Structure 1
Amino acid sequence: MDSAALKDTKAQTRRTMRAQRDAVPDAERAKLSRLCCENLLQHAPLDQAAIVGLFMPIQSEIDSTLLIPPLLKRGAALALPVPIGRTGMLFRSYKEGTELVDAGFGTRAPGRGAREVMPDLLVMPLLAFDSECNRIGYGAGHYDRYISERILSGSKPMLVGLAFSFQQLDKVPVGGYDLPLDMIVTDKDVIRAPEGD
């Protein structure tokens, strides 16, 4: 598939999957969010991470804020992403009571007074995924750029996608620069990247 066709296919996939996610009733989304977060707390290697990077949900995403109280209770250090420019990103330390400010793209994050940190494990949002842990995000490339920079610096974090099970496709359209995740956790399953990847 050439680059133009791949771009068009990804855009169509994003539209389709966003519409499916938006169509889930609030009560059902809340129930599925709880199941997703419970699975992540049980199966993701959170204890191996000094700092866990989370995300604040936007639009019809999983309510990832359900992870915050149990992780803080475990004594985990948390961080939230801050978009920088069109494709850049960094993470700032998040503690209970940290004031969140508008960070652009509909997100909220700790302000400039919060310490910049480098999470060992990222819990990431997505629009679609497949059984090989390929992911489609929103298309801005913030996570892709951040992860690539971490890989180049020799400090690749563990990558864990958090998704509703209905977001799984037989095959996600990917290019040579798209990186698979290490694990994807849903309300029904825990999917790990194939051995050797």
Structure 2
Amino acid sequence: MDRLNIKELKTELRTLYKEKRKELPQEEKQRMDKAICDRFLSLSSYRYADTILLYYPLKNEIDTQCIALDALEKGKRLAFPRCIENNEMVYHYVTSLDELTSGKYGINEPKEDLPLYVPSADSHALCVLPAIIYDKKGYRLGYGKGYYDRFLSSFKGTKAGLIYSDFIIDEIPHGRYDLRADVVITEKGVIPFAKN
């Protein structure tokens, strides 16, 4: 499949599954979000992580606030991404969700004067990845700007995806720079993959 067809297919998949996510009944979404959160909080990679890199959910995304509150309560270092120039992002540590403010694309992100997360060889960091869909090999389809692909190219910690089980498809076209999640958590279970 050539690059143009791959791009078109990814655009179609994004449109289809964003619409499907919007159509989820609110009560069912809340039930699945809670199940995903509970499974995530029981992961050994979460228990042993000292730093959690988390995203703040956009409308209709899986609610990650339960993870944020648990991490803060347990004394873990919690960081959220902030978009910067050249489609790149950096993470800043927060001590409260009140330190987030509406930023680029209307996404809640940390204020830029907060301390920066700097990857460290001795840190046990866990990065939670937003996605529209995942495939059965752990590849994700995000929103198409490449922020996470660029960030993950130098990230050495564990990469975890949160997704509804009906949003896992057989295969997503991917390139050599696309990295897989190490683990994907759904409301039905935990799917581990070999580390990249």
Under a length normalisation based on structure 2, what TM-score does the superposition of the two structures give? 0.91
Greater Cα shift, 102-111 or 44-53: 44-53
Within the candidate set 102, 127, 134, 2:132 is matched to 127
Q: Distance in 2 between matches of 1:85 and 1:139?
A: 16
Measured in 1, the distance between the counterparts of 2:149 and 2:50 equals 22
Alignment of 1:137-148 (within 5 A): 137-148=142-153
Deviations 1:90-124 (A, max 9, x none): 00001125421222122111212210013621011
Question: What is aligned with 2:71?
Answer: 71
Paired-residue identity, %: 29
Contact 1:86 1:140 in 2 (8 A): no
Q: Which residue matches 2:102? A: 102
**Aligned mates of 1:121, 1:97 — CA distance in 2:** 18
Q: 1:85 to 1:39 in 2, by over 3 A?
A: same
- Asked whether 1:35 is paired with 2:41, we answer no
1:188 counterpart = 2:179: no
Deviation per CA, 1:151-187: give whole Å up to 9, x if none.
Answer: xxxx522110111111110111212221111111111
Matches within 5 A, 1:1-197: 1-96=1-96, 98-118=98-118, 120-148=125-153, 150=154, 155-193=155-193, 195=194, 197=196
- Measured in 1, the distance between the counterparts of 2:97 and 2:178 equals 36
For residues 130 and 113 of structure 2, what CA distance do their matches in structure 1 show? Answer: 25
**Structure 1 residues 3 and 49: alpha-carbon distance in aligned structure 2, compared to 1, 3 A threshold:** same
What is the rounded CA distance, in whole Å, between the counterparts of 1:78 and 1:99 in structure 2?
11
User: How far apart are 1:196 and its partner, in Å?
Assistant: 6.7
Measure the CA separation in 2 of the matches of 1:9 and 1:71.
Answer: 37
Structure 1 residue 3, shift from structure 2 partner:
0.7
Letter in 1 for 2:6: L
Partners of 1:97 and 1:6 in 2: how far apart?
Answer: 37
| Distance in 2 separating the partners of 1:114 and 1:15 | 35
Q: Secondary structure at the match of 1:105?
A: helix
**Higher relative contact order (CA closer than 8 Å, sequence separation 6+):** 1
For structure 1, which runs of at least 5 residues remain unmatched after alignment?
none
Distance 1:123 1:114 in 2: 20
Using the alignment, how far apart are the partners of 1:29 and 1:144 within structure 2?
27
Size of the aligned set, in residue pairs, is 191
RMSD: 1.6
| Residue aligned with 2:42, SS | helix
Unpaired runs of at least 5, structure 2: 120-124
Contact 1:62/1:163 (<8 A) preserved: yes
In the superposition, relative to structure 1, how do residues 60 and 75 fare at CA in structure 2: closer, same or farther (>3 Å)?
same
2:122 match: none
- CA apart distance, 1:47: 2.9
**1:44 Cα shift?**
4.9
